[in-house]
Amino acid sequence: MTSSECTFIAIKPDGVQRNLVGEIIKRFEQKVSCLIAMKLIQASEDLLKEHYIDLKDLPFFAGLVKYMQSGPVVAIVWEGLNVVKTGRVMLGETNPADSKPGPSIIHGSDSVESAEKEIGLFQPEELVDYKSCAQNWIYE
């Protein structure tokens, strides 16, 4: 079997508040292989500052942290073949002005390295290691 990778997806506070969690999960379930962790979390300021540390020098950093603290987020880890790239394609453009409706309510890892870092911040000991029964049908 070809090796798989993991990605981190977070449904932002407005996605949770607007009751879009189920629809977002459904879309990812239809496109990627395996859900291995998910939790509803009220992220602390320290966690968010670490999560977005690569943006700390940008003018919107403080507002982003405040927004992400404005309500709970759903932190999800998906595993599958090329799941980081697939997730990024599903999310579309990062800049809300350039994106289609919807993607700005979801954060997604932009690389395998970013995914590993982000997953590490959200308690990796909670990941469930199992093999999907469909794995042998999908991957050779």
Flag whether pLDDT at 95 surpasses 70: no
Is residue 33 situated within a structural domain? yes
Contacts of residue 79, Cβ cutoff 8 Å, sequence gap at least 6: 4, 5, 6, 32, 33, 34, 36
What average pLDDT does the chain have?
Answer: 85
User: What CATH number is associated with residue 12?
Assistant: 3.30.70.141
- Answer yes or no: are the C-beta atoms of 109 and 115 closer than 8 Å: yes
pLDDT digits (tens, 9 = 90+) for 56-76: 999 999 999 999 999 999 999
Q: Which pTM does this prediction carry?
A: 0.83
Residues assigned a catalytic role: 107
pLDDT score for 17 = 94
Question: Which residue range forms the structural domain that includes residue 53?
Answer: 6-126
pLDDT digits (tens, 9 = 90+) for 83-94: 999 998 888 755
Structure tokens, 43? 């992220």
